[in-house]
Structure formats: C-alpha cells, structure tokens
Structure 1
C-alpha cells in the first residue's frame, strides 16, 4: 500500500474523520457563536470560524498523537492489532505529522491576533503535561478517577481558546460564558466514559475500561450522572440566554434517551449495547453544543 492508503486506514481506525469533523465543526462554531450571543455582539467574520475549526482539529489530532506516545508500550503488549503495533504506520510518522501541525497552529493564532497565541500556548502546556502523565504515571494509573478528571481538564481550556476567538478582540469574556465552559468539561467526561463502557467479552487484560473498574451497572450509572450534570449546565445556558423552557425541553428529552440507552447497557452489556453507548455519548455531546450554540441564535435572532 502507498503511504496515503495507509494513512487513510489509520484515520479510519484511530481518528475517524467522518465522526470527528462534524463534532468539531459543531463544537467550534457553537463556542464562537454563543460567546457573541451572550455578549450581545454581532457574529464574527467567517475567518474566525475557520480559525476555530482548524485549531480545534489540530488540537484533537495532537491529543490522538499524544495517546499513541503514552500508550505505545501497552498497545504493543495488549493491543497488537492497532495500527502502530501491527506496522501499518510507525510511531515516528504519526509524531512527525503531529509536529507539523504545531507551526500551523501558531500561524492560525497569529493570523487571528488579539493574543490568541497565549490561550493556545496554555492549552499546549496542559497537553504536554498530559502526554507525560504529569510526571506521575504510576500514581495516575492507580487512580482512574483522577486520571479522568486531569485529562478532561483540557476540554475547558480548548473551549476557552475557541470562545477567545470571539471575545479576545473585545477585551474580556462575559461571566456567563463559564457555564458553557463547564459544560465542555462534563461533556468530555461523557465522551471519555462512554467510549470505555465495554461488554465482558471485549474486556482484555492490560486495557483499562470503566466497565471493568466499576462493573457495567455502576459504570452506566456514573456515566448517566455526568450526562445529568451536562443537562443541568445546558439548562443554565438556556437561562442566561433567556430561553430556559426550550433548553429544559431539549435537555429533558435528551436525558431520557440517555437513561434508556444506559439502562439497556447496564441490563445487558453486549457488543451491540457497548457500541450504542459510544454512539449515544457522541450524539448527546453533539446535541448539547448544537443547542447551546445555535438555539439562542435561532430563537432570538442576531444582536
């Protein structure tokens, strides 16, 4: 196979563009739009949205590269079927591609200006610390909850960067925006736990999952707890934007759907319900950002 063919297979397995691009486009556009709506300002130019999308795409790809680095030894030992251990691509190639995106990110931030480079640098600093497990890999590995929370803390930083594209040129963010940034943290936990709720037959030695850590029922309940936190924060966005009833309705309907999915998985954790939990987690997060970012705009119109 050619290099491009191998990279195409790699993205399908490890960084699926068909799922990633729509979610990141919604996430970045919603963050920028909501910042403008909450501040009562007109929407920024299309260039701001393009900068936001490409920056968040770069950051998420870099997070994938970071995972390949820190999980390399475990993958070779316990997951030899993955792209790098089986020799589809080399770790050096993937790290090189990640390194190439660094000057691209700097260029995008500098083109936008307004001090955006400093928020990007802050996000990269946290990502670097995550890659090296904050210098305490054994301590974190023994404490999965701290591992989850420390790694998901990058989500609010990314959201601060995205919203900063809109508010930095105006000096400061509106305090109400912190509700949305907190939503990004809880939604990060929803995604991370949701993708690690496995069926018993898919569990394997050396691979940490939340279903193995807590058991399927308890893990589903904890996942649902984070969904509930996200729902409350989503309603909070509705309150500060002036449309609480619409947000309550959407949040409640989405939460009920998540209850249904979590209950099915908890009762019968099969490969099918495992896959459904991953899908539902993604749909919930996508729905949260679409609702928070665009519903106030649709109901209230442009400032």
Structure 2
C-alpha cells in the first residue's frame, strides 16, 4: 500500500471527507449568515465563505490530530484496531500534516482581514491548551464535567472566528450573538455525550464514556436535557433574527424526535439504540445550524 493509499484509508476511518465536507460547509456558512442576520447587515461576498470553509476544515482535522496524540496510550492499550496503533499511518505523519496546514488556514483568514486571523490564533491557543490537557491531565480525568466544559469551549471559539469573518471590519458583533455562541457550546456537549452514550456490551476497559460514568439511562437523560437547552437557544436565535415561530417550530419538531430516540434507548440500551443516539446528535446539530443560518434567509427571499 502506497503512502497516499494509507492516508486515504486513514481519512476514511478517522476523518471521513465524504461526510465531513458537506457538514462543515453548512456549519461555516450558517455561522457567517447568522452573524449578518443578527446585525441586520447584508451577506458578505463568496470569498468570506470560502475562507471560513477552508479554515474550519483544517481546524477540525487539527482537532482530530490532537485527539490522536492525547489518546495515543489508550488507543495502543485498548483500541489497537484503530489506524495509528495498528500501523496504518504514523502519529508523527498526522501531526506533521496538521502543522503544515497552519499557514494555509492562516492565509485563508488573512484574505478576510487581520481581525479574523487574530480570532483564528485564539482558537489555536485553546486547542494547544486542550491538547496538553491544560497541564493537569489527571485532575481533568478525575473531574469529567470540567473536562467536558473545558474541551467543548472550543466550539463557541470556532464560531466566534467564523462569525468574525463577517463582523470584523463591518461594525463588530451583534449584541445577540451570544445566543448563537451559547448554542454552539451546548451543541458541542450534545455531540460529545451523544457519541459516548453506549450500550453496556459496548463499554471497553480503559475507555471512558458518559454511560459508564452515569449509567446508560442517566446519560440519555442528560443528553436529552442538553437537547432541550439547545432547542430553547435555537428559538432564542430565531427571536433575535426576527423569525421566532419558524425556528421554534423547527426546534420543537427536532426535540420531539430526539426524545423518541432517547426513550427507546432508555427502555432498551442496546447497540442499535446507541447508534441512533449518536446519529440523532449529529442530525440535531445539523438541524440547528441549517435552521439558524438558512431558514431566515429563505423566509426573506435573501438566498443568493
């Protein structure tokens, strides 16, 4: 197998571009849109959207690389089937590619302006601190909720950068932008707990999960509680953007579907239910970004 084939297999397993590219395209475009909508400004040009997409795709790959480094011992001991511990690619190769992409992302941000570049640097500072577990790895592992909050804080920072592509040099952020940043943080928690709420037979020695920490039923309850908070914030973004009822209706429909998924898992916490919660978490976050970033534009007839 050639090095290219090895890395192509790695991305398919650990950073699947077929799924990641469209999701991040929606994520980045929606963030830029909602920044303009909340401020009552016209949408920026296509260059802003391209810069945001390129930078955020690189950021998410760098986050994957950081996770590979943080989890290297756990993967070696308890998940030897993963790409790096089984020898498909070297960890050093993944890390070097992540570092080599820094000037590409920075260049994309600079095409928008220095303000966006500084916000991108802020994301990298936090990502670096996360990768080093803020210098207290054992303490963080012993306090899983603080671990969750400290690591999910990168999501509103990424959205601050993406929205900054729109608002830097154009009058600053809208006063209601905090609602969207809070939505981003809560949705990060929805994703994280959703992907680590497992059936009892799926738990693995040495690998932490929220279902192991709280039990599968309580983990599902926490997950649906976070979806409820996210739904309220989505409705709040709709109110701030002048389209409360459409986004509130969307939030209610999505929340109802999430409750159904969670209840099924709570009644029968099996691998199929685990897969449904994981998928529902991703779909919920996609619904939130697509709803907040595109529904108001469609209603106003402002889509390009």
Shorter-chain TM range is over 0.9
Question: Which residue in the other structure is 1:115 paired with?
Answer: 115
8 Å CA contact 2:55, 2:106 repeated in 1: no
Instruction: Supply the distance in 1 between the matched residues of 2:222 and 2:21 (Cα, whole angstroms).
Output: 28
Report the Cα distance in structure 1 between the residues aligned to 2:128 and 2:272, rounded to whole angstroms.
35
Mapped partners of 2:200, 2:93: distance in 1: 34
Separation in 2, partners of 1:48, 1:260: 39
When the two chains are superposed, the root-mean-square deviation of aligned CA atoms in Å is 1.1
Q: Is the 8 A contact 1:116 1:164 kept in 2?
A: yes
Partner Cα separation in structure 1 for residue 7 and residue 185 of structure 2: 30
Q: TM-score, normalised by structure 1?
A: 0.98
C-alpha distance in structure 2 between counterparts of 1:217 and 1:290, whole Å:
29
Q: 1:56 maps to which residue?
A: 56
Give the Cα separation in 2 of the matches to 1:234 and 1:80.
40
Find the counterpart in structure 1 of residue 4 from structure 2. 4
3-state SS of the aligned residue for 1:115? helix
Q: Superposition pairs for residues 261-276 of structure 1, below 5 Å?
A: 261-276=261-276
CA distance in 2, matches of 1:79, 1:42: 49
In structure 1, what is the equivalent of residue 291 of structure 2?
291
Q: Give the superposition deviation at 1:241.
A: 1.2
Q: Which residue of the partner structure matches residue 253 of structure 1?
A: 253
Contact 1:42–1:302 (CA under 8 A) maintained in structure 2: no
Deviation at 1:244, TM superposition (A): 1.2
Q: Secondary structure at the match of 2:101?
A: helix
Alignment partner of 1:112: what SS? Answer: coil
Matched, 1:207 2:219: no
Which residue in the other structure is 2:144 paired with? 144
> Which shifted more, 112-121 or 175-184?
112-121
Q: Deviations over 1:63-113 (max 9, x none)?
A: 000001111011101111110000000001100110111111111112221
Q: CA deviation at 1:114?
A: 4.0
TM-score computed with the length of structure 2 as normaliser:
0.98
CA deviations on 1:131-150 (whole Å, 9 max, x unpaired) are 00000000000111111110
The structure with higher relative contact order (CA 8 Å, sep 6+) is 1
Q: What is the rounded CA distance, in whole Å, between the counterparts of 1:274 and 1:21 in structure 2?
A: 24
Q: Indicate if the aligned counterparts of 2:180 and 2:237 stay in contact, CA closer than 8 A.
A: yes
**How far apart, CA to CA, are the structure 2 residues paired with 1:140 and 1:148?**
9
Aligned to 2:227: 227
Distance in 1 separating the partners of 2:21 and 2:221: 29
Contact in 2 for aligned 1:114/1:169 (Cα 8 Å): no
- Using the TM superposition, give the Cα deviation of residue 205 of structure 1 relative to its aligned residue in structure 2, in angstroms: 0.5
CA distance in 2 between counterparts of 1:274 and 1:3 reads: 34
Question: Could you say what secondary structure the match of 1:147 adopts?
Answer: helix
The alignment covers a number of residue pairs equal to: 303
2:42 corresponds to: 42
Counterpart CA distance in 2 for 1:12 and 1:143 is: 33
Asked if the contact 1:15–1:61 (Cα under 8 Å) also holds between the matched residues in 2, the reply is yes
Tell me which stretches of 4 or more aligned residues in structure 1 moved more than 4 Å.
none
In the alignment, the residues of structure 2 paired with residue 291 and residue 114 of structure 1 have an alpha-carbon distance, to the nearest angstrom, of: 30
State the shift of 1:8 in Å: 1.6
Deviates more, 1:238-247 or 1:284-293: 238-247
**Equivalent residues in 2 for 1:183-194 (5 A)?**
183-194=183-194
